[in-house]
């Protein structure tokens, strides 16, 4: 396990999970075992359990179809706090290019700044069974000069385009959320136009005991 990486000076350096997997372990290291986790629940549309709201942006911006979708968005924001967005006009080809570039990025030898795990504050802290790559992407002026410009091409250009597409989509979505929640749109003006954007890319290596680990720790607000 030679590769030990870190995404932030505030986080302790930890081994790369990809390197652990290269040793072909038959069991999971104790630090990755999560005994406090509830077993996963696999659901589908016929399970009877609540389904994550799906918001059709194409209908949301249509004058004839917007009203019921706007109500669905309001419910998702108030009762769920998240939703799946479809028909968002971000090119599927661009998304696939970014996915492919991300996969290739994690296969690069000699990983350094940007790779690792976030918020590791103690030596006995439980770790996620995942490697991540994180960096600030917008505004371009805050990109690390030793990181973003050195990303391999064409991934660098695709990621630059993708980050701008996400910024445009995020601003559009925020205004629609404000409308759905009955907020004054002017309350949002200027709040996010010059905001910061960061991107986190997750890689989940194969695990010999997947039922004992988690790939992404739950958010605790």
Least confident window among 8-12, 106-110, 156-160, 206-210: 8-12
Q: Where residue 118 falls among pLDDT bands split at 50, 70, 90?
A: confident
Residue 85's pLDDT is 96
Q: Where residue 1 falls among pLDDT bands split at 50, 70, 90?
A: very low
Higher pLDDT, 121 or 53: 53
Of 128, 124, 120, 122, the closest CA to residue 9 belongs to 120
Residue 156's pLDDT is 95
Q: What is the spatial distance between Cα 218 and Cα 210, in angstroms, rounded to a whole number?
A: 16
**Bridge pairing between strands 131-138 and 115-116:** antiparallel
Total Cβ atoms within 10 A of residue 101:
20
CA dihedral of 117, 146, 162, 134, whole degrees rounded to 10: 10
With 60 as the cut, is the pLDDT of residue 220 above it?
no
pLDDT tens for each residue of 129-173: 999 999 999 999 999 888 889 899 999 999 999 999 999 999 899
With 60 as the cut, is the pLDDT of residue 9 above it?
no
Region 185-207: mean pLDDT is: 82
With 80 as the cut, is the pLDDT of residue 62 above it?
yes
Determine phi and psi for 71, rounding to 5 degrees: -65, -40
Q: Where residue 184 falls among pLDDT bands split at 50, 70, 90?
A: confident
Residue 51's pLDDT is 87
Estimate to the nearest angstrom the gap between the alpha carbon of 111 and the chain centroid. 20
What's the pTM? 0.82
With 70 as the cut, is the pLDDT of residue 114 above it?
yes
123-133 as b/e, with b when 16 or more CB fall inside 10 Å? Answer: eeebbbbbbbb
């Amino acid at each position: 396990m030679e590769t030990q990486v870190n995404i932030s000076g505030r986080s302790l350096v930890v081994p790369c999970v990809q390197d652990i997997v290269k040793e072909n372990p038959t069991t999971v290291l104790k630090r990755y075992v999560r005994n406090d986790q509830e077993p996963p629940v696999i659901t589908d549309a016929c399970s009877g359990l609540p389904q994550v709201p799906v918001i059709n942006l194409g209908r949301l911006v249509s004058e004839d179809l917007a009203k019921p979708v706007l109500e669905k968005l309001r419910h998702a924001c108030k009762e769920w706090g998240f939703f799946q967005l479809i028909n968002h006009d971000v090119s599927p080809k661009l998304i696939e290019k970014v996915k492919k570039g991300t996969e290739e990025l994690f296969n690069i030898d000699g990983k350094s700044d940007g790779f690792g795990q976030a918020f590791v504050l103690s030596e006995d802290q439980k770790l996620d069974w995942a490697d991540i790559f994180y960096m600030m992407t917008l505004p371009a002026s805050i990109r690390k000069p030793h990181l973003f410009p050195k990303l391999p091409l064409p991934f660098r250009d695709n990621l630059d385009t993708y980050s701008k597409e996400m910024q445009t989509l995020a601003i559009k979505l925020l205004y629609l959320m404000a409308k759905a929640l009955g907020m004054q749109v002017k309350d949002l003006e200027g709040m996010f136009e010059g905001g910061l954007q960061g991107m986190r890319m997750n890689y989940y290596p194969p695990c010999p005991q997947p039922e004992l680990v988690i790939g992404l720790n739950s958010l605790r607000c």
